Structures are given as C-alpha cells and as structure tokens.
Amino acid sequence: MISIYPAEPAELLKEYIQDHQNDFYRLAYSYTKNPDDALDVVQDAIVKAMSQVHKLRNPEFLRTWFYRILVNEALGNLRRSKRSVVQEDLSESAVYEEKDIPQKIDLLRAIDSLPPKLRTIILLRFFEDMKLEEIAAVTGLNLNTVKTRLYRGLNLLKISISEE
C-alpha cells in the first residue's frame, strides 16, 4: 500500500515530539510550576497523541493538534490537583541570556497571575510563536475570541507591570 503522505502520521508525530520536546516541557511547566508535574503533563499528552494519531486527517495540522492535546492536559492537571500554584523562585528555575532579569521576573509573575484562559493565549502567542489562527485551532475558540482574550490579557499585563 502506498501512502499519500511522505511518512506515516505516527512517524511524523514521533519526529515532531523529538524535535520539540523542550518547547512542550516549557509550556507545561508554565502551567504547573513543578518539574515533575510538567513532565507528567507532557508524557500524558504524548501518550494520548500516540493513541489518537490515526484520527489526524491532515498532517499539516500536526502542530496545532498536538498543542491542543498538550494545553488540555495541562489544564486538566491544574483542575485535578486543585491546589493553588505557588510561585517558585524564578531566579533558580529559569535561564536568562539577557541582563534584564528583574524585568523578566516581573513579566513572568504577571503572566502567571492571569486567568488560565488569558494566560494560554499569551503563552501560545509569544512563547510558542503561534499565529492567531493556530491559537484558535489549538484552543477550539473563534478567532475573534482569541483576539479579544489576547488584547484583554495584554492590557492586564500592562496594568500589572505598571503597578509594580
């Protein structure tokens, strides 16, 4: 049987996961604030994706499809844990290449203080460099809703940072 894809969906997924595992961990960690929980979220997302890869109809949407699974797993983890996320000392857990460490810490704290639905949009847009259309696909939201949440989140960040 000849495949119409350059590689089978499972093989594409495997390569994608290997190439972007650090990105997945970073996103999961931004939700959980715990290294072990972040690894669990990524692992659960990979297991779910591998078991459902046969449902992926178009390999072009692999990125948004997987990120949707990952975000859902991260949010599910937060709901299951039902514990407040305690801010860790960011200076120990993050590596910075620039010298504006205090400003970056303030920004990360402000992002963490956003409601999850706004935080997801901000993280996907600026930390995962997704287009608004991709974010809409990942979150299952209307494009206009994504835009509204993005601007609302940015305004809240602006207010939060200016207060500090």
Cα 132 to Cα 42, 67, 79, 108, 122, distances in angstroms = 23, 14, 26, 21, 10
Give the CATH number for residue 27: 1.10.1740.10
- 117 and 163: one domain? yes
93 lies in some domain: no
Per the domain annotation, does 90 fall within a domain? no
Q: How many helices (H) and strands (E) does the chain have?
A: 8, 0
Q: Is the pLDDT of residue 133 over 80?
A: yes
Domain boundary among 84, 114, 141: 84
Indicate whether 85 pLDDT > 50.
Answer: no
Q: Number of structural domains, the chain?
A: 2
CB atoms within 10 A of CB 140: 10
Does any domain span residue 92?
no
Residue 122 has pLDDT above 60, yes or no: yes
pLDDT score at 88: 42
Which of 37, 52, 84 is the endpoint of a domain?
84
- 2 and 74 in a common domain: yes
Structure confidence at residue 40 (pLDDT): 94
128 occurs within a structural domain: yes
Q: CB 106: neighbour CB atoms within 10 A?
A: 16
Distance CA 159, CA 106 (A): 12
pLDDT score for 160: 85
74 and 106 both lie in a single domain: no
Residues 53 and 112 in one domain: no
Determine the structural domain holding residue 119 and report its residue range: 98-164
Prediction pTM value: 0.69
For 94-120, what is each residue's pLDDT tens digit?
Answer: 444 444 556 677 778 888 889 989 999
Per-residue pLDDT reduced to its tens digit, 2-61 = 444 456 878 888 999 999 999 999 999 988 888 999 999 999 999 999 999 988 888 888
80 lies in a domain? Answer: yes
